[in-house]
Amino acid sequence: MHQLHLSLFAAQVRGLITPVQFSLLSALAARGSADQTTLATDVALDRSTAAATLARMEAHGWIARGRDDADGRAMRCRMTEAGRTLLARVEPLAREAHRQTLAALPPEDGAHLMALMRAALHGVSD
């Protein structure tokens, strides 16, 4: 199922952004700003992968990073205007990939599957 969704996502976004970058950008949009460790936790990444991905996103101009005022060891991230523009462009494409992933299921089964996956993830993040 994961491989199918990745393939559908890639076909929709056509190289604009990777799934991990999309997840981090979405998490950052939901929070407004956050440190890298929090974002890594939000999207179930290890800290080093998140840091490297966020550095690439900063190089693209999608986010800005800087030392956290309260904790100088932490890197605080915020989305730039370019990041907001990209997210607005990609979100409908990601939703379409999601729709296609579940298209073979009756709507109630798709909703149930999503609820089960959320429950499973909640159990891991506790």
Tally of CA atoms within 13 A in the half-sphere of 113 that contains its CB: 13
Separation in Å, CA 109 to CA 39, 69, 96, 106? 30, 46, 18, 5
pLDDT single digits (tens) 18-57: 999 999 999 999 999 999 999 999 998 999 999 999 999 9
For residue 42, the domain's CATH number is 1.10.10.10
pLDDT single digits (tens) 68-109: 777 777 788 999 999 999 999 999 999 999 999 999 999 999
Structural domain count of the chain = 1
- Is residue 124's pLDDT more than 80? no
Q: What is the pLDDT of residue 123?
A: 63
- Is residue 66's pLDDT more than 70? yes
| pTM of the predicted protein model | 0.86
Question: Domain range holding 86?
Answer: 2-125
Distance CA 36, CA 77 (A): 7
